[in-house]
Amino acid sequence: MDIFSESKLRRTRLPSPIEVWLSRKSTGMTCTVVTGDERTSTLNVNSLSMRGAQREMTGYLIARGYSPVGDWEVEAAGDAGPGGVDAVETSRQFKLSVIEFESARVPEQ
């Protein structure tokens, strides 16, 4: 269960701030959300590239009432060929833009 489903089911506030971690695996991209109390949940990622996943998750969270804090940080990098590095793990913090839970409802999917 992700943070949005849990919040909707239990009628609790969405956690804020959150830290979002994107990782590239051989099977594709993964997204893990870490809350202030160190609970984790997973969000689905459709993008195949790190940059695409960053844009996808940023847009997804903005649509749900979060604002990005700072830029995406490269946490781990791999070899991208001659003279280059390629991010394989990145993270970014987000905080709720809205104060009241009722204003931060999870949109129906």
Q: Where are the domains of the chain?
A: 3-104
Q: Give the tokens for residue 41.
A: 């949940």
Q: Are 73 and 90 in contact (CB under 8 A)?
A: yes
The whole-number mean pLDDT for each consecutive block of 10 residues of the chain, a chain of 109 residues, reads 87 92 90 94 94 96 94 80 68 84 57
CA–CA separation, 28 and 62 (whole Å): 23
> How much is the pLDDT for 84?
53
Quickly count helices (H) and strands (E) in the chain.
Answer: 2, 5
> How much is the pLDDT for 29?
94
All residues at 6 or more sequence positions from 81 whose CB lies less than 8 Å from its CB, including other chains: none
Could you list the beta-strand ranges (E) of 39-108.
40-43, 66-79, 85-96
pTM above 0.85, yes or no: no
CA–CA separation, 60 and 73 (whole Å): 18
